[in-house]
Amino acid sequence: MSTDHVEAIKRLKHRYFHSVDSKDAVELRGCFVAGAHLDYGPGGPSSADAMAAAYEIAPDADRNVANIDTHLGLHPEIDLVGEAEAKGSWVLQFRRIDRVANTEMVMIGSYDDRYALVDGEWKIASCIFRSTWARIAPLPDGTVFI
C-alpha cells in the first residue's frame, strides 16, 4: 500500500476521533460511507447516521456538556485489501468525564475497521470496537472544569 493511502487513512481516523470528542455531527457523518456498519458493543450505535443524530440533538457549542471525551488512537496497522479497500486496527485509549455522575472513566480497547476509497477519498465502511478493560471512579470533591 502506498504511504499516501496509509497517511490518508490515518488522517481519516484522527478526524473521526476529533469529531466524536468535539461532538461534531457533520464532520462525523463525513467520515463514513453511506450504510456504514458500526458495532461498539451493547447499547452502542449500529450506524453512522444513528451516531451523528445523537450529536445533532446535543451540540457542544458552549462546552457545557454532560460528557467530556478524549479518544487517543494508537498503534495503527493498515493494509490494502484491494485497489479501493483497506483494513485497519487501532488501540484506543479513552477517557470520559461524566459531569452529571461526577465520575471519570478510563478505558482501553481496540478497533477493527474496513475502509473504502470513494471518489478519491478514504471513508470508514465498517467500525467494530471492543473494550479490553475500563475503570470508573468518582471525581474528587472540588473538581473544577475550565
Task: Give the CATH number for residue 128.
Answer: 3.10.450.50
State how far Cα 16 lies from the chain centre: 5
144 belongs to a structural domain: no
User: CA of 131: how far to CAs of 23, 52, 90, in Å?
Assistant: 21, 21, 12
125 belongs to a structural domain: yes
pLDDT at 66 (0 to 100): 84
Edge-to-edge strand list for the sheet holding 85-98: 32-39, 121-138, 103-118, 85-98, 67-80
Domain hosting 86: range is 3-58+67-138
Count of structural domains within the chain: 1
21 belongs to a structural domain: yes
91 belongs to a structural domain: yes
pLDDT at 64 (0 to 100): 60
pLDDT at 58 (0 to 100): 57
| 36 φ, ψ (degrees, to nearest 5) | -55, 145
Q: CB–CB of 31/48 below 8 Å?
A: yes
pLDDT in tens, the chain (146 residues): 588 999 999 999 999 999 999 989 999 999 999 999 999 988 788 888 888 887 776 554 455 678 899 999 999 999 999 889 999 999 999 999 998 899 999 999 999 999 999 999 999 999 999 999 999 999 999 988 87
76 belongs to a structural domain: yes
97 belongs to a structural domain: yes
143 belongs to a structural domain: no
37 belongs to a structural domain: yes
Query: Rounded to two decimals, what is the model's pTM?
Result: 0.90
